[in-house]
Amino acid sequence: MFDKILIASDLSEASSEMIRCTQGLRLLGSREAILFHALRIRHLEDLKYELARLAEPRLQKQKDELEALGFVTKIEIASSETAFELERTARKEDISLVVIATHGKSLLQHALLGGEATKIIQHHTKPVLVVRIAVIEGEGGRKCEASCLDLSRKVLYATDFSDTAQRAFTYVEKMVENGWKKITLLHVQDSSRIDKYLKERLDEFNSIDTERLEMLKDVLVKKGASEVDIAISYGLPFQEILKTAKSDLYSIIVMGSQGRGFSEELFLGSVSHNVVRHAPIPALLVPALR
């Protein structure tokens, strides 16, 4: 499913926690990993080599951690901006998944995981797994704790029945084939679009969309899923998705994200962006085909 993964590291403790969570991807068939770090400099050639030398010990430690989990791993150090170099590496290496991290209500404030993460999610041509990192304050200071994949809990697939959502569904199918047996199929009737002029047709919409979800359920049952639930809710999509995800039943959210045709301003207000910012569990965002 995700044979070769590209893991973006900023050398922080959060990155190390994210790496620990890749064990769940091993259960989904991942075998190779590229550990990626961007120096984020454009000029000063001599400085590039010095920064790379300083980064190598921490990257080697993270590489050892990945190899202990069973990954065949190599290190890739780039000198320019993270999002651009990450996309270039993903294409060159023909990877199947990019793994990054977030925490709390905003993206992590490290060099990699701040504004660069938004660019990665918005523009990447490969699926992006966003791992949630909690920063916990304790007597010994701050520490990071990741929410990892757990195949004993459910996948939450959120769909608006768009082409991109349907592409995301193909990954849910593959997850079922690789051993994930419990799925919830969620569609949210968008109150911001329905309230004003279409409220009287809500029952009709619910009937049509229930039938659509039933068809998706049949596909997953035939693939081997043992428990597939259907849910239709009413409200603002990102709020309803998050409300559902906060249950302890779920381990990951799978949904589509926007493609290159969307401006950053639109992305920042989108359902997928808001879900990633606030989700208590990892989210797999699948981009449009382009």
User: What integer pLDDT is reported at residue 83 of this predicted model?
Assistant: 84
* Residue in 270, 212, 200, 215 with CA at minimum distance from that of residue 241: 270
Lowest-pLDDT range of 9-18, 134-143, 145-154, 169-178 = 134-143
For the entire predicted model, the pTM comes to: 0.87
Per-residue pLDDT at 15 exceeds 90: no
For the segment 245-256, the average pLDDT, to the nearest whole number, is: 93
195: left (phi over 0), alpha (psi -120 to 50) or beta: alpha
Cβ neighbours for 196, distance < 8 A, ≥ 6 positions apart: none
Domain ranges of the chain: 4-146, 154-286
Per-residue pLDDT at 58 exceeds 50: yes
In whole numbers, what is the pLDDT of the chain averaged over residues? Answer: 85
Per-residue pLDDT at 123 exceeds 80: no
What is the rounded distance in angstroms from the CA atom of residue 252 to the CA atom of residue 154?
Answer: 7
What is the rounded distance in angstroms from the CA atom of residue 137 to the CA atom of residue 170?
Answer: 39
Yes or no: domain 4-146 corresponds to CATH 3.40.50.620: yes
Residue with tokens 């085909």: 289
User: What integer pLDDT is reported at residue 139 of this predicted model?
Assistant: 67
pLDDT digits (tens, 9 = 90+) for 156-181: 999 999 999 999 999 999 999 999 99
What is the rounded distance in angstroms from the CA atom of residue 59 to the CA atom of residue 78?
Answer: 13
More confident residue, 284 or 104: 284
pLDDT digits (tens, 9 = 90+) for 210-230: 999 999 999 999 999 999 999
Helix, coil or strand: residue 289: coil
What distance lies between CA 142 and its chain's CA centroid? 24
Asked if residues 1 and 178 have their Cβ atoms less than 8 Å apart, the reply is yes
Q: What is the largest CA-CA distance in the chain?
A: 67
User: What integer pLDDT is reported at residue 259 of this predicted model?
Assistant: 38
| Class level of CATH domain 154-286 | alpha beta
Of all residues in the chain, what percent carry a pLDDT higher than 70? 83
Residue 188 host element (H or E): strand 182-190
The β-bridge partners of 252 are 155
pLDDT digits (tens, 9 = 90+) for 99-114: 998 764 444 444 344 4
